[in-house]
Amino acid sequence: MDNQNRRTVIKNLLAGTAAITASGMLSSIKSSESQPGFTPLKGNINHSVSPWCYSELTLDQLCEVSKGIGITGVDLCGPKDWAILQKHGMHSPMCNGAEINLIDGFGDPQFHDTLVKNYTEMIPLVAQNGYTNLICFSGSRRGKTDEAGLKNCEAGLKRIVSIAEKHHVVLCMELLNSKIDHKDYQCDRVEWGVELCKRINSPNFKLLFDIYHMQIMEGDIVRNITDYHQYIAHFHTGGIPGRHEIDDTQELFYPAVMRAIAATGFKGFVGQEFVPKRADKIASLRQAIQICDV
């Protein structure tokens, strides 16, 4: 067998295996709507999902699955993905593609020129496709004090915030934990992120409040959401510990968290970003949406 044929056979075998796995996941959700007790969602929370948690599915398949559950957005998608989302009538509530990575961010001036170029090019594309939120990161601390990190982020972001304002795009810095998952990440506490928002002083710079990460770092989730909701553009979920299902196997009571979010008048999206531990991942996703449907 020549190399070309070998590659074709291997590709087809892999595609077949993926199709079998995906087919099982798709049949799981397609059958759910005929199950007793299936009811439409209340509509108080806008739901989205992160593709990296469901790597067995193509983006097309994830869109199909998500629509069947009542999810209307897919997070962390860039220009190469938007046509697929649009084909399925799905929104992109948290766009990506301008960042370098999670560790080389606005907190370090050596990356500012690259980031400014990336975001200057990406912001208009986000707007042209009808989207609003574009993710960004502080990057690693690298020995910097809180104040030094704030000053660096402020300096870098102020070079692009007027572009975001012009195109009605919101730059969203994600809050990540530096204790377990992202060692040395600087924007790891709500009050640090809020202080940066105050210094930028623009409605076009806000926070991506990752509930999983902030529960690890400081807890007090409901109070922080209530007190700082005006600085939050998007939420992510995840079970604690482990970042698995958000049911009663973990420590947070997500219905109370969702009620707190809804009580603020929040009209953005809550993105499911947990990694299912159970074999039926779509059942876990469906359950998470039901838990958050307050």
Domain ranges of the chain: 41-292
How is domain 41-292 classified at the architecture level of CATH?
Alpha-Beta Barrel (3.20)
- pTM higher than 0.85, yes or no? yes
Whole-number pLDDT of residue 38: 52
Of the candidates 276, 284, 270, 293, the residue with the CA atom closest to the CA atom of residue 94: 270
Q: What are phi and psi of 56, to 5 degrees?
A: -70, -20
| Tokens found for residue 191 | 């009050």
Confidence (pLDDT) at 26: 59
- Please give the C-alpha separations between residue 275 and each of 48, 49, 58, 209, 238, in angstroms, as whole numbers: 14, 11, 16, 18, 8
User: pLDDT in tens for each of the 294 residues of the chain?
Assistant: 444 444 444 344 444 444 445 555 555 544 444 444 457 899 999 999 999 999 999 999 999 999 999 999 999 999 999 999 999 999 999 999 999 999 999 999 999 999 999 999 999 999 999 999 999 999 999 999 999 999 999 999 999 999 999 999 999 999 999 999 999 999 999 999 999 999 999 999 999 999 999 999 999 999 999 999 999 999 999 999 999 999 999 999 999 999 999 999 999 999 999 999 999 999 999 999 999 999
The helix (H) or strand (E) run that includes residue 289 is helix 281-292
pLDDT of residue 76: 98
Confidence at residue 13, expressed as pLDDT on a 0 to 100 scale: 42
Q: How far is CA 129 from the centre of its chain?
A: 18
